[in-house]
Structure 1
Amino acid sequence: MENAFIRKLDSFVQLPDEDRKWLQSLTGRVQVLTADQDLIREGDNPETVHLILEGFAARYKMTIDGKRQIFAYLIPGDFCDLHVALLKRMDHSIGTLSPCRVATLLPSTIIEITERRPALARALWMSSLVDEATLREWLLNLGQRPARERIAHLFCEMHARMRAVGLTTDGSFEFPLTQQELGDTTGLSIVHVNRSLKELREAGLVTMRTERLVIPDVERLKTFAGFDPAYLHLRGPAPLGTAAF
């Protein structure tokens, strides 16, 4: 079965069979990390590129008094630091939100993609542009949406992204985040997160199970949240199932 990385890139650009086979053959050193472990810290200068194979991670920054703001989720198929070679030091940290398997790739692999494989280069470019578009949408979410809609919009986005890499089943997907982590993402206190989740459950919009989110009616949740997936620029959903590197 194709891995999540191939599925993600293929959601942006239809990849030639040769590129698919090359990506499938890629091997790198794999790290196994526990939850709440930093993969990269602000100020680091990584010499390799990291790719999430399994699990959830996040980009975040800390305030001087120890408060955390999460501003991106990284799921299977996502590069953590594709452009790090252009930077002298990381301006943010990347930490795991759940147990993760992470591939470490040499910069030469990225050079192979960008210089010799134009379809893959376009797909990576699209991926970077979508990251920027997603950050803009998160800023709108934080600044303008009420608490319930803020969380509902995040759930819709994660469903769309997980679906694109084949990791949803009948409106449900892995979502191993705590209420504190949701609060650090949405700028809400744990009290507000708890209350908002309760209201979403009572309205029949979502169900939270053990490290899994269930959306009984995805279109209904999209309408409630005012969710338009256009900013994700996905060509179409991947087949249902589980993808692994």
Structure 2
Amino acid sequence: MSLILRRRSFRPMPDGRETLISLAFGRFGLLDAGDAASLAGLEVGRVQYAHGDKISGSDTRVTNCSVIVSGMALSVPAEDPCGPVTAIHVPADAPDLGAAITGHHDHDIVAQGECLVQHVPADALRKMATDSPGLAAALWRRTAMDARIHHAWLAAAHMRATPRIAHLISELHARLDRVGLTRDGSFHLPIEQKDLTRILGISRAHGNRSVQTLRAAGLIEWTRGRIRIRNLAALHTLAQFDPGYLFVAPPGSRALQGRSVQDAPDSRSLPF
């Protein structure tokens, strides 16, 4: 009962609102001062979800756009919550932005570990996008980046287990580094090795062997929910990883970047 009450609690979140919303949307387009002020003025709230809680899904009415503040979330098939994972969402991601735009969900978003989420009213966001071509373009680029991540996952599907895991680790590191949540090549990862079966569609034995291979090669350390990359260049080479698909802001843009986070060794979230 306490978890349900805590999960459903919805509180205003005035502090850090401008930074987080700008980080989630503003870095994908050219926003003027008026757009930034409008984003900062949105009435938002936050909800703490426990591991496995549904953040949004096909059986819920689309009233909000979610922004991950801390922790991670997974996209899973609505008809099979234990089925394959189609996306991993990290802080500053807006995992159901597409649903907020189209008006319906075709999958569920569930918390992976403890996950703090900020909710933005979908109607207000849609109205702002209608009134502001700059914000509309930013939202479009935000969804375009999600599509590019999906394409990269599909392209990596032909790889053997070890380089595929290396590719996933490289991508998560690049995405978290983009929002200041890495330190000296390390980052919090609330995903266990056994979860690789669902995420990458490989057997548990293959996953465990591949992680041991990466460890033995001196490329990574993975302990207690945290990964440290010991040789980033070698990991990228093994994974054939090019982070270019993760950055879709227009060339020469001065899009809002948000604050840089000085990540402590146990830091797991944006400081909002």
Task: Name the TM-score class by shorter chain.
Answer: 0.7 to 0.9
Q: 1:106 aligns with which of 108, 113, 121?
A: 121
For residue 221 of structure 2, what is the aligned residue in structure 1? 207
TM-score after normalising by structure 1? 0.87
Does the C-alpha gap of structure 1 residues 74 and 181 become closer, same or farther in structure 2, counting only changes over 3 Å? same
Give the match's secondary structure for 1:54.
Answer: strand
CA positional deviation for 1:89: 4.3
Deviation at 1:76, TM superposition (A): 1.2
Residue in 1 that maps onto 2:166: 152
- The answer to whether 1:49 aligns with 2:65 is yes
**Bigger mean CA deviation after superposition, 225-234 or 20-29:** 20-29
Q: CA deviation at 1:132?
A: 0.8
The corresponding residue for 1:227 is: 241
Question: How far off its partner does 1:122 sit?
Answer: 1.8
Q: Which residue of 1 aligns with 2:262?
A: 241
Call closer, same or farther: CA 1:127–1:195 in 2, change over 3 Å: same
Alpha-carbon offset, residue 191 of structure 1: 1.4
Contact 1:50 1:82 in 2 (8 A): yes
Q: How has the CA–CA distance of structure 1 residues 211 and 15 changed in structure 2, closer, same or farther, with 3 Å as cutoff? A: farther
Distance 2:169 2:138 in 1: 25
Change (3 A) 1:23 1:183: same
**Percent of pairs with identical residues:** 30
Deviation at 1:200, TM superposition (A): 0.4
Q: After superposition, what is the alpha-carbon deviation per residue over 1:41-64, rounded to whole angstroms, capped at 9, x for unaligned?
A: 344333222221111001012777
SS of the residue 1:180 aligns to? helix
Instruction: Identify if the C-alpha distance between structure 1 residues 5 and 172 changes in structure 2 by more than 3 Å, giving closer, same or farther.
Output: farther
Q: Indicate the SS of the match to 2:68.
A: strand
Q: Does 1:182 align with 2:196?
A: yes
Compared with structure 1, are the counterparts of its residues 115 and 19 closer, same or farther at alpha carbon in structure 2 (3 Å cutoff)? Answer: same
Distance 1:39 1:10 in 2: 23
Alignment RMSD (CA, Å): 2.6
Distance in structure 2 (CA, Å) of the matches to 1:18 and 1:87: 25
Contact 2:98 2:143 in 1 (8 A): no
For residue 13 of structure 1, report the CA deviation from its aligned partner. 3.0
Cα distance 1:10–1:47, how it changes in 2: closer, same or farther (>3 A)?
closer
Change (3 A) 1:86 1:117: closer
Offset at residue 147 of structure 1 (A): 0.2
SS of match in other structure, 2:234: helix
SS at match of 1:97: strand
Encode CA deviations 1:70-122: one digit per residue, 9 max, x unaligned: 01111111112223255564221110102111122212321243123333322
CA deviations 1:203-239 (Å, max 9, x no partner) are: 1111113221111222221111100112112559974
Deviation at 1:22? 4.0
Matched, 1:138 2:153: yes
Spell out structure 1 runs of 4+ moving beyond 6 A: none
Task: Please say if 1:70 is aligned against 2:85.
Answer: yes
1:192 aligns to what? 206
State the alpha-carbon separation in 1 of the partners of residues 230 and 239 from structure 2: 15
Question: Residue 48 and residue 240 in structure 1: after superposition, are their counterparts in 2 closer, same or farther (change >3 A)?
Answer: closer
Change (3 A) 1:5 1:188: farther
In structure 2, runs of 5+ residues without a counterpart are 1-15, 250-254, 264-269
Q: Which residue of 1 aligns with 2:184?
A: 170
Counterpart residue type for residue 162 of structure 2: R
Provide the secondary structure at the position in 2 that maps to 1:157: helix
User: Scaled by the length of structure 2, what TM-score is found?
Assistant: 0.79
Paired with 2:51 and 2:82, the residues of 1 have a C-alpha distance of: 19
